[in-house]
Amino acid sequence: MADDKLYERFGREFPKGHALFKDGEAGKEMFVVQSGKVRIHKNVRDVEKVLAILGPGEFFGEMSILNNKPRSASATVEEPARLLVIDPKTFEAMVRGNAEIAVRLIKKLATRLQETDDQIENLLLRDHNSRVVHFLSHIAAKQGSQTAEGLQLEITLKDIAQKIGLEIEPVNEVMNKLIRSRLVKLTESGVVIHDVNKLREFLEFLEMKEKFGDI
């Protein structure tokens, strides 16, 4: 009932492909996803890097209205979406008047800060093998669901390439190596990591190899 009232006041529908805002634009509102999906992305050296795919219950765009600075990324509707579109005054009133909203905001910002740290750590790795394995090992604990064969990640090779800012070809090459080593398996719904600990051990090996070279 409360959600219906909110949607009556602030709700809007957007088709797939609609650009909600672009990197560098002034931020005039924030958004809450009621249904559908939104892609948060940024171009890095002419390659689109997907920062997040947000679904129902997620919010975004709040930073620009909190710090009054331009958007730091772009947002595009990935699947037809119903969103709450909230202006700065309404957002401030909601935070001031509801402690639960304020706590959720703080927790979400802390999570995003950790994700940013992980992305920076990944970008510092020069080797394609290390970057793919680093990404898989980091998201396994956060997004993986346990199956008989290991941790299932609902993610495509294209998603991986976009997330770490690589072309699809080197990602394919690395994944084929991991498959031959029996560390991962591709399925219709994504990627299965057979043993996360072994994958992390392999990452340590790659990092040592990058640091010291072949001996």
Are the CB atoms for 27 and 71 separated by under 8 Å?
A: yes
* pLDDT tens digits, 7-20: 888 999 999 999 99
- Domain spans of the chain? 2-122, 126-212
Q: Which two tokens stand for residue 59?
A: 């919010």
Summarize pLDDT for 148-183 with one digit per residue, the tens: 888 999 888 988 887 887 889 999 999 999 999 999
CATH of domain 126-212: 1.10.10.10
pTM beyond cutoff 0.85: no
Read off the tokens for 44.
Answer: 């890095």
Give the pLDDT of residue 75: 95
Question: Do 122 and 131 touch, CB atoms closer than 8 A?
Answer: yes
The predicted structure's pLDDT at residue 99: 84
Taking only the tens place, the pLDDT of each residue in 45-104 is 777 778 888 999 889 998 888 888 899 899 999 999 999 999 988 988 888 888 887 888
Alpha-helical (H) ranges within 77-167 are 88-97, 99-123, 128-143, 157-164
Q: How confident is the model at residue 213 (pLDDT cuts 50, 70, 90)?
A: low
Fold of the domain spanning 2-122: Jelly Rolls (2.60.120)
